[in-house]
Structure 1
Amino acid sequence: MDFREALQNQVLVADGAMGTLLYGSYGISSAFELLNLTHPDTVLRVHQSYVNAGADIIQTNTYAANRLKLARYDLQDQVSVINQAAVKLADQARQAADHPVFVLGTIGGMAGDTDQDVQRATPTALAASLTEQLTALLTGGRLDAILLETFYDLRELLAALKLVKAHTTLPVITNVSMLAPGVLRDGTSFASAIDQLSAAGADVVGANCRLGPYYLAQAFAGLTSRPPVPLAVYPNSGLPGTDQDGAVVYDGEPSYFQDYAERFRQLGLTIIGGCCGTTPLHTAATVRGLASRSRVQGPRATSVPQQPTLTPTTSQHRFLQRVTTAKTALVELDPPRDFETAKFFKGAQRLKAAGVDGITLSDNSLATVRIANAIVAAQLKLRYDITPIVHLTTRDHNLIGLQSEIMGLHSLGIEDILAVTGDPAKLGDFPGATSVGDVRSVELMKLIKQFNSGIGPTGKSLRETCDFRVAGAFNPNAYRTSLSTKSISRKLSYGCDYLITQPVFDLANVTALKAALSANDIHVPVFVGVLPLVSRRNADFLHHEVHGIRIPQAIRDRMAAAEQAGNERAVGIQIAKELIDGICENFNGVHIVTPFNRFKTVIELVHYVQQKNLTAIQ
């Protein structure tokens, strides 16, 4: 009986985890796939343990045996030998079995991986990596099917399926991974994913990893009709924990799998296996729990899930509407470093009275600890009706914190965010602190924009759409007429709506930016930074010690002369006005950075920007 026939005639029990078993039981924590070469007896022993426990299906130890992932260990040139050795080991275990066993060649997904090099790989590189691994598996020995597992991104899985089908006639199993039962991370329903994969030629469709038996049973029970292909399920043993050393551990009891085995069969599952944290004991428990090996025609749902109604928000983004037709000023403030906040909020009220279009709030600039800018932003909006633009750094927040912060901002009605990396943590008050950097700033932009569709981080509906507008930071100071817009184009492709630049002191950089945007047909609102100088020492410090800022010698000479004359403030304001003149000849937006809480200086410059509109009318 070949694999396709077996799928039609009976329920098949699959093996469980390889990596977590090697890590937890054998103390191996390196590249698990390399063990196919260095410790083949260990890998063979795992396969045999699952076979002895009653598994009808085992998979090759090749989940991450592709060029992109093996590069972490400098093993990228051993893709072929690692995969071929894995097939031979699984086949050896099959031959020694006392019952029929099928061998699957396993290829893991990429989109859910935390490795930044993998996340940044181009579609071409991903396809080449998959093709190389697939070729190695197919030439390694006898396989009964290809298993594509742990795919969080449906588009990636569909592309992988198409590629595999083009190279082999073997059956293909496609397993998605869900963060929440019944829905993929991009909001696609599990039922829709099954339909799309089966239509694309998948022989079996299922789910594995992340969720345990309880939630995966929910996902399959939620299907309202019988899918056109057999179904597979590979649940984790449960939710993981950590031991005293901080290592991830699973302690789900095998008897729990025995309880769920028959439920999965009654839901219409054809392949029942295990994923992270499962062992041969879980496989044996699954075998014991099945009342029969006959397939049940199903699944049948107890109720039809209703699509939630999404409520749209009504944010105005008034400064973005204004900047398209008029000169518009934003002002950047640093939140207070202590609890004496009266001066800060009084200054913000003065800025509002002066007609500022919005206040941007830095996120611990220069890695210096300040009151959380989201809290300050809420007070500006709710108490004083001031439009805040919140800087959000990838430095201080992991993926969990970023998404929580985004949801919190929306709940406050704050829909304007500047997505930035943030200054390195070692520069600030606590040099021992670490920068998080789970994602790049462009990936943060994409994450923020996902909320506009009403879909949360797990793919579940948020019951309400957001209306975020995301700014991207840009530093024009490193360029002249040969300004490259590559980084700007990348930001726009990830969802950037407008740009806020570093402070400029050389108008050649402003005209170069304008020319480069025009030459590349990029039309996006730009707020060019202006930082009024307060002294000669201030100018020297900014030029020599602050990354990304360069002040021409002529300007520094003017500030030095002003120091001698005793009129540094007046000269600093005059220089800022000259810069605003040049900026306004090219752009409508000006972003004024407040120096040392000098609100009087900034208010004078806000009025100066506004006078440009009056002059234009006259």
Structure 2
Amino acid sequence: MMNIRELLQTRPLLFDGAMGTYYKAAPGVECEQANLTDPAGVLAVHREYLAAGADAVKTNTFSLPRLAAAHAPGWEQLAQAGWQLAVQAAEETGAAVFADLGPAPDTEAVPAGQVYTAVAKQFAALGARNFLFETLSSDAGLLDAVGAIKAEVPDAFVLVSFAVLPDGYTREGMYCKDLARRMQESGIVDAVGLNCVSAPGAMRTLAKQLGGTLPLSVMPNAGYPIVTRTQVKYQGRPEYFARELGRLAAEGTVQILGGCCGTTPAHIAALRAELDRLPVVKKTAPAEEFSTVKKQTVENEDAFLRKLNAGEKVIAIELDSPRTADLTGYLEGAKKLQAAGADLLTIADCPIAQARMDSSLVACRVHRELGLCTLPHMTCRDRNLNATKALLLGLYAEGVREVLAITGDPIPTAERDEVKNVYQFNSRKLAQYIVSLAGEGREMPGPMTVFGALNLNARNFDVELRRAKEKLENGMSGFLTQPVLSAQAVENLKKSRKTLGADAKILAGIMPVVSQRNAIFMENEINGIHVEDWIIEKFAGLDRAQGEELGLAISLEMAKAALPYADGLYLMTPFNRVALMERLIGRLKQEVLGAY
């Protein structure tokens, strides 16, 4: 079969188009099943693309990583049948065959790297020497699998292709230039590129932004999809598809080309004609090296961050936004807390999944009118990538420089088929996405500081700490903890400080309990909070004034115990009792913070 490396020395490599949208599978039947149920049909599609001029074909096995992760019976047989059909077709023209692996789910129980490795080894055993990992939105576990391939097949050619939106981000919020750079720096990936999601014009723009010494690949969709009652159609014309990609090849930007969703043999034939008009060269000139010059740092600290980074103990205080459209009372409360000595106002994003005024809009209003630093909570719930990005850009423009990234509570509903939650990524991926928006040539001139949640009351705190480390690795700078209302929570805070290090900023959560009923409710109905029995018992028979006084006393004791291991305090306002929190801040400054 064809030697990919030798071919790329003289001319571009042309892949086939999209088996999944061209092969007419029965409704509800996965295209890959046809390897066993309709081998003649799959073989015919391969031959059509090769007759159109493709140099390489992909095995009809895109969904195998997902099937393998789910332990679907027979996925090995689908791999074998798909491989044999592609090889049979390719032998007739001498084309190359690539083992095709789509995205694998990445879970703690079955990591993506484990899945990719199992499927890739299956193909290697069948004789595969070329591998395509395509339509990826993340590189989780990918390099582990590539390393395993190279160990078994040292001369293997591995192409990795990411699916990105026209703005350059994957659906998991990863930036294409960062992903390409990691593939470049790995030393084991042979080519990198983009496929799917974007149409030819948008992908051409994206490809021109990518640099590196690795061969670059582009395989766009035929166009953007049109959804009819029964199917999804792509109406992009072959002539336009070929012209846009031909320009990239002529400029020397890309060395590997092909098609994804909606591309037919007609698209590949048109592109073949464009490529055949290019002059033959001895060697494709390498693209510009990735820059190793450090990007200029933008001074981006506000008053809260300057104080925190200077080592001073800070006070952040949470005040839930109103349930109505009237902000008058809220702004008055925020102003009182600011005067009492709060350094930062945090605003929850519809806590307990109950609608309130948008936390980001409230944060902008408070910052604009009071000059108080704000930390809006941003959940992964109910916002897709576009909505999240739009909100972040607005926050930055309004001068908000901190955000708390959390997964968020799911919306409770009995109508599960009618009300759907949107969870496009978790808090770790959200943090990575927020951080990636800043930098030279990107949407934000300077970075936003991302905080996360740390549950000191987690039953398996070692797991919670492991996740906290992952959050730091993904760009978070620190944590706001759940309320400290037990000796165990203090011990876990101490352990956190030792494990996460001094660079991770930790604000210890303090929430005054105000009554026995309040304590019982928090213990039983609020996730992540543990109130010890002795605290619950102490509130028996107390009226409101007595309850508040006892709540203040306990909060002061918890703050004293927590502060040696924290960079500040995160105060949570119960029932919007601003006057109570004014008293708490005053006593903290007088009785606790003075020691620091």
TM-score norm. by structure 2 comes to 0.83
Deviates more, 1:347-356 or 1:163-172: 163-172
Deviates more, 1:328-337 or 1:283-292: 283-292
TM-score norm. by structure 1 comes to 0.80
Aligned to 1:547: 527
- 8 Å CA contact 2:9–2:284 kept in 1: the answer is no
How far has the Cα of 1:361 moved from its partner? Answer: 0.5
Partner Cα distance (1:589, 1:26) in 2: 60
**Number of residue pairs aligned between Structure 1 and Structure 2:** 588
Match of 2:67 among 66, 70, 77: 70
After superposition, where does 1:85-164 map in structure 2 within 5 Å? 85-95=81-91, 97=92, 100-108=93-101, 110=103, 115-117=105-107, 122=111, 126=113, 128-140=114-126, 145-150=130-135, 163-164=148-149
How far has the Cα of 1:365 moved from its partner? Answer: 0.8
Q: 1:289 to 1:569 in 2, by over 3 A?
A: closer
Deviations 1:165-199 (A, max 9, x none): 443365626254473789785464899799769x7
Does residue 201 of structure 2 align to residue 214 of structure 1? yes
Partner Cα distance (2:419, 2:136) in 1: 34
- 8 Å CA contact 1:3–1:144 kept in 2: the answer is no
Does residue 321 of structure 2 align to residue 335 of structure 1? yes
Deviations 1:394-432 (A, max 9, x none): 113222222322222222221122211222211799996
Partner Cα distance (1:428, 1:584) in 2: 43
- Amino acid of the residue matched to residue 573 of structure 1? L
Q: 1:407 to 1:355 in 2, by over 3 A?
A: same
- 8 Å CA contact 1:182–1:222 kept in 2: the answer is no
How far has the Cα of 1:357 moved from its partner? Answer: 1.5
Does residue 281 of structure 2 align to residue 284 of structure 1? no
- 8 Å CA contact 2:135–2:161 kept in 1: the answer is yes
Partner Cα distance (1:50, 1:561) in 2: 81
Partner Cα distance (1:616, 1:260) in 2: 67
Deviates more, 1:177-186 or 1:550-559: 177-186
Aligned to 1:15: 16
Q: 1:598 to 1:298 in 2, by over 3 A?
A: same
- Amino acid of the residue matched to residue 220 of structure 2? P
Aligned to 1:465: 446
- 8 Å CA contact 1:260–1:289 kept in 2: the answer is no
- 8 Å CA contact 2:10–2:282 kept in 1: the answer is no
> What SS class does the counterpart of residue 445 from structure 2 fall into?
coil
How far has the Cα of 1:251 moved from its partner? Answer: 1.9
Partner Cα distance (2:584, 2:395) in 1: 29
Partner Cα distance (2:90, 2:416) in 1: 57
Specify the structure having the higher radius of gyration (Cα): 1
Partner Cα distance (1:146, 1:80) in 2: 16
How far has the Cα of 1:465 moved from its partner? Answer: 2.1
How far has the Cα of 1:200 moved from its partner? Answer: 5.4
- 8 Å CA contact 2:149–2:156 kept in 1: the answer is no
Partner Cα distance (1:484, 1:195) in 2: 33
Q: 1:381 to 1:430 in 2, by over 3 A?
A: farther
Deviates more, 1:251-260 or 1:307-316: 307-316
- Amino acid of the residue matched to residue 235 of structure 2? D
- 8 Å CA contact 1:390–1:416 kept in 2: the answer is yes
Partner Cα distance (1:441, 1:102) in 2: 44
Deviations 1:363-401 (A, max 9, x none): 101111111111111111111111111111111322222
Partner Cα distance (2:474, 2:188) in 1: 28
Aligned to 2:382: 396
Does residue 233 of structure 2 align to residue 253 of structure 1? no
- Amino acid of the residue matched to residue 323 of structure 2? R
- 8 Å CA contact 1:183–1:189 kept in 2: the answer is no
> What SS class does the counterpart of residue 263 from structure 2 fall into?
coil
Partner Cα distance (1:577, 1:87) in 2: 68
- Amino acid of the residue matched to residue 424 of structure 1? P
How far has the Cα of 1:344 moved from its partner? Answer: 0.9
Partner Cα distance (1:308, 1:181) in 2: 26
Partner Cα distance (1:543, 1:205) in 2: 51
Q: 1:601 to 1:430 in 2, by over 3 A?
A: farther
Partner Cα distance (1:496, 1:352) in 2: 26
> What SS class does the counterpart of residue 317 from structure 2 fall into?
strand
Deviations 1:290-310 (A, max 9, x none): 564763578799x99999986
- 8 Å CA contact 1:308–1:463 kept in 2: the answer is no
How far has the Cα of 1:599 moved from its partner? Answer: 1.0
How far has the Cα of 1:85 moved from its partner? Answer: 1.3
Partner Cα distance (2:267, 2:351) in 1: 51
- Amino acid of the residue matched to residue 517 of structure 1? S
Match of 2:228 among 228, 234, 243: 243
Aligned to 2:250: 266
- Amino acid of the residue matched to residue 38 of structure 1? T
Deviates more, 1:587-596 or 1:390-399: 587-596
How far has the Cα of 1:215 moved from its partner? Answer: 4.1
Does residue 65 of structure 2 align to residue 80 of structure 1? no
- Amino acid of the residue matched to residue 509 of structure 1? Q
Does residue 475 of structure 2 align to residue 495 of structure 1? yes
After superposition, where does 1:316-355 map in structure 2 within 5 Å? 316-318=302-304, 321-322=307-308, 325-355=311-341
Q: 1:319 to 1:182 in 2, by over 3 A?
A: closer
Partner Cα distance (1:311, 1:325) in 2: 21
How far has the Cα of 1:333 moved from its partner? Answer: 0.5
Partner Cα distance (2:417, 2:56) in 1: 52
Partner Cα distance (1:281, 1:402) in 2: 38
- 8 Å CA contact 1:481–1:512 kept in 2: the answer is no
Partner Cα distance (2:245, 2:176) in 1: 28
How far has the Cα of 1:597 moved from its partner? Answer: 1.9
Partner Cα distance (1:353, 1:291) in 2: 73
Partner Cα distance (2:549, 2:94) in 1: 85
How far has the Cα of 1:581 moved from its partner? Answer: 4.0
Partner Cα distance (2:595, 2:584) in 1: 17
How far has the Cα of 1:463 moved from its partner? Answer: 6.0
Q: 1:368 to 1:489 in 2, by over 3 A?
A: same
After superposition, where does 1:360-371 map in structure 2 within 5 Å? 360-371=346-357
Name stretches of at least 5 consecutive residues in structure 1 with no aligned partner. Answer: none
- Amino acid of the residue matched to residue 462 of structure 1? E
Name stretches of at least 5 consecutive residues in structure 2 with no aligned partner. Answer: none
Deviations 1:252-304 (A, max 9, x none): 12232354575455345665432221112222333455564763578799x99
> What SS class does the counterpart of residue 117 from structure 1 fall into?
coil
- Amino acid of the residue matched to residue 62 of structure 1? T
- 8 Å CA contact 2:458–2:464 kept in 1: the answer is no
Aligned to 1:595: 574
How far has the Cα of 1:350 moved from its partner? Answer: 0.9
Partner Cα distance (1:437, 1:494) in 2: 18
Partner Cα distance (2:280, 2:430) in 1: 45
Aligned to 1:174: 159
Partner Cα distance (1:484, 1:291) in 2: 57
- 8 Å CA contact 1:338–1:370 kept in 2: the answer is yes
Partner Cα distance (2:208, 2:522) in 1: 62
- Computed over aligned residues only, the root mean square deviation of the Cα atoms, in angstroms, reads 4.3
Partner Cα distance (2:528, 2:508) in 1: 14
Deviations 1:420-458 (A, max 9, x none): 122221179999643322212222222222234x16xxx
Partner Cα distance (2:210, 2:472) in 1: 38
Deviates more, 1:374-383 or 1:399-408: 399-408
